[in-house]
Amino acid sequence: MQDEQNEYSGAATMEKITSLAKRRGFVFQSSEIYGGQNGAWDYGPLGIALKNRIAQAWWKEMTQLNDDIVGLDAAILMHPRVWEASGHVENFTDPLVDCKKCKARFRADQIPAEKLAAKKCPECGGDLTDVRKFNLMFKTNIGPAEDSASVIYLRPETAQGIYVNYKNIIQSNRMKIPFGIAQIGKAFRNEIVTKNFIFRTCEFEQMEMQFFVKPGDDERWFDEWRRRRWAYYEKLGVRMDRLRWHRHGPDELAHYAKDAYDIEYLFPMGWRELEGVHNRTNYDLSRHSQFSGKDLQYIEQETNERYIPFIIETSAGLTRSLLMMLCDAYDEEKVPSEKKSGSSAGTASGTEGSADDDWRTVLRFPPAVAPLTVAVLPLMKKDGLAELALDIRAELRDDFAADYDQAGAIGRRYRRQDEAGTPFCVTVDYQTKDDQTVTLRYRDSMEQVRVPRQALTEKIRADIKAWKR
Ligand code: ATP
């Protein structure tokens, strides 16, 4: 664990993020009315929109912008031999210890070495049990009999679905090495420590791309994928001073890896892994070849050379990326009262201010991933303004995720959109009736400009492209 000094200087805390996420319908606890289910979360209307946007951005980057990467959606349930071949049955374990006194459970690799050596609980000082290995795979049974022959696993990573389809994809799509296969999907791990909101959960989503290369070309492609993955976050609009590389030391390397780097993000609780870039060598395909009895060698058409490809993997968490986006976007600031504001705006949660203070909580999502792109707000409901605003919204919703809100004072409605991270508000007022112009209000600067109604779609499109943090 890299739990060195937390250099985090943002406004977000995990408590604020969790409470905003619930209040605004990003993320709810699973089965909340029954007291909640540990390690599982539900994504509400804004949450699923944000998750889809992040997934789309990744998918576009991987498949649409690369000729040599194709997509796949493999089943969650796979033949149990897959997990023997991959090494998960034997090796996918966490070292666990329990406190005999307070009954707390820890991952042995996450408690201070001196406590572990002394076998003392880091929380109450009680005696710890011996370290034991705990397999993280969820095991269930398929079919009516619950015996060892019917055992099946929920996949703990999406990668293996790609490996077992590598020959199918070469044959059906005439792929030539080097090429990649991208997949987004659910993965399941029986995680013991699931604190920090959706950071580490038992059910989560991964965005993985496996790139197949000729042995010997692997180091070059490994460097290239590290470069591309870093560039991706920059392009997405993430605060780059909150990202860093962490190279796995010899004791951290997974059983299949020749080299591995994590991209870490500075979450409110410290630097934590966001994505892994791994050189998995020819381990996976060799093992599948051995366990399935199928020849998984690649044949170079020009030279007839045969080899088992090496694999460079980029493995990012989708749900973890969503948490990263929330933390990255979260801001609180004291702001001047806005024009058109009929009443004073709300006070940012958790912030004590005097009666005159105007605080706002704002999620500064890059517009390309914001769950809502634009909100249309009539200044008043009466005098035909609501109808006019609905008409404008109808025009916009073909191109953008466009919300409509007529409830309450305009300043308060701006604050609601700020909190949802909506980058643009369009306000429809009496002047709109006269000259068909609207006010376009920017979330980040709170600047307002007058725009002709017919120019609105193009203006918003251009502003999305031009957005910089
Ligand atoms: P850790 O060592 O922290 O358990 P890992 O190194 O095993 O994680 P990988 O197997 O490399 O993680 O998974 C790739 C990515 O999948 C991670 O970078 C992370 O974004 C995501 N991920 C892994 N486990 C979880 C989880 N339990 N909950 C949410 N996301 C996860």
For the residues of 213-275, what is the DSSP string, one character each?
E-TTSHHHHHHHHHHHHHHHHHHHT--GGGEEEEEPPTTTS-TT-SEEEEEEEEETTEEEEEE
Which atom of ligand 1 approaches the CA of 202 most closely?
Answer: 27
Other beta carbons within 10 Å of 77 = 12
| Residue keyed to tokens 């799509």 | 173
| Residue keyed to tokens 């953008």 | 400
What does the block give as tokens for 146?
């619950």
- The domain ranges of the chain are 14-76+156-326, 335-466
Instruction: Give Cβ neighbours of residue 105 (< 8 Å, ≥ 6 apart).
Output: 96, 97, 98, 99, 192, 193
In the DSSP assignment, the letter for residue 9 is: -
Using alpha carbons, select from 306, 310, 182, 317 the residue that is nearest to residue 258: 310
Taking only the tens place, the pLDDT of each residue in 358-399 is: 889 999 999 999 999 999 999 999 999 999 999 999 999 999
Instruction: Give Cβ neighbours of residue 447 (< 8 Å, ≥ 6 apart).
Output: 441
Residue nearest to atom 29 of ligand 1 (CA): 200
- Of all residues in the chain, what percent carry a pLDDT higher than 70? 94
Q: Which CATH architecture has domain 335-466?
A: 3-Layer(aba) Sandwich (3.40)
Between 254 and 30, the higher pLDDT residue: 30
CB of residue 121 inside a 6 A radius of ligand 1: no
Q: How far is the CA of 151 from the centre of ligand 1 (A)?
A: 24
Q: Pick 14-76+156-326's CATH classification: 3.40.50.300, 3.30.930.10, 3.50.50.60, 2.40.30.160.
A: 3.30.930.10
CB of residue 324 inside a 6 A radius of ligand 1: no
Q: What is the rounded CA–CA span in Å between residue 183 and residue 314? A: 11
If DSSP codes are grouped into helix, strand and coil, which group holds residue 41?
strand
Q: Could you tell me if 14 and 326 are in contact, meaning their C-beta atoms sit under 8 angstroms apart?
A: no
Q: How far is the CA of 214 from the centre of ligand 1 (A)?
A: 27
Helices (H) and strands (E) in the chain, counts: 14, 23
The whole-number average pLDDT for the span 197-223 is 98
- Of all residues in the chain, what percent carry a pLDDT higher than 90? 86
The whole-number average pLDDT for the span 301-318 is 97
**C-alpha neighbours within 13 Å on the C-beta side of residue 63:** 15
Residue nearest to atom 1 of ligand 1 (CA): 273
Q: Specify whether the backbone of 323 is left (phi greater than 0), alpha (psi in -120 to 50) or beta.
A: alpha
Q: What is the predicted pLDDT for the residue at 339?
A: 54
Q: How far is the CA of 317 from the centre of ligand 1 (A)?
A: 7
pLDDT of 352 strictly over 50: no
CB of residue 109 inside a 6 A radius of ligand 1: no
Residue nearest to atom 2 of ligand 1 (CA): 273
Q: Specify whether the backbone of 446 is left (phi greater than 0), alpha (psi in -120 to 50) or beta.
A: left
Which atom of ligand 1 approaches the CA of 94 most closely?
Answer: 4
pLDDT of 3 strictly over 70: no
Taking only the tens place, the pLDDT of each residue in 329-349 is: 999 999 887 755 333 333 333
pLDDT of 457 strictly over 50: yes
Q: What is the predicted pLDDT for the residue at 146?
A: 87
pLDDT of 24 strictly over 80: yes
For ligand 1, pick from 91, 107, 204 the residue to mutate: most ligand atoms within 8 Å of CB.
204
For ligand 1, pick from 320, 321, 323 the residue to mutate: most ligand atoms within 8 Å of CB.
320
Residue nearest to atom 16 of ligand 1 (CA): 317
The whole-number average pLDDT for the span 302-320 is 97
Q: How far is the CA of 430 from the centre of ligand 1 (A)?
A: 53
pLDDT of 212 strictly over 80: yes
pLDDT of 354 strictly over 60: no
CB of residue 316 inside a 6 A radius of ligand 1: yes
For ligand 1, pick from 205, 273, 278, 327 the residue to mutate: most ligand atoms within 8 Å of CB.
273
CB of residue 204 inside a 6 A radius of ligand 1: yes
Q: What is the predicted pLDDT for the residue at 288?
A: 98
Q: What is the predicted pLDDT for the residue at 446?
A: 96
Mean residue pLDDT across the chain:
93
Residue nearest to atom 13 of ligand 1 (CA): 315
Taking only the tens place, the pLDDT of each residue in 143-190 is: 998 888 899 999 999 999 999 999 999 999 999 999 999 999 999 999
Q: Could you tell me if 441 and 374 are in contact, meaning their C-beta atoms sit under 8 angstroms apart?
A: no
CB of residue 208 inside a 6 A radius of ligand 1: no
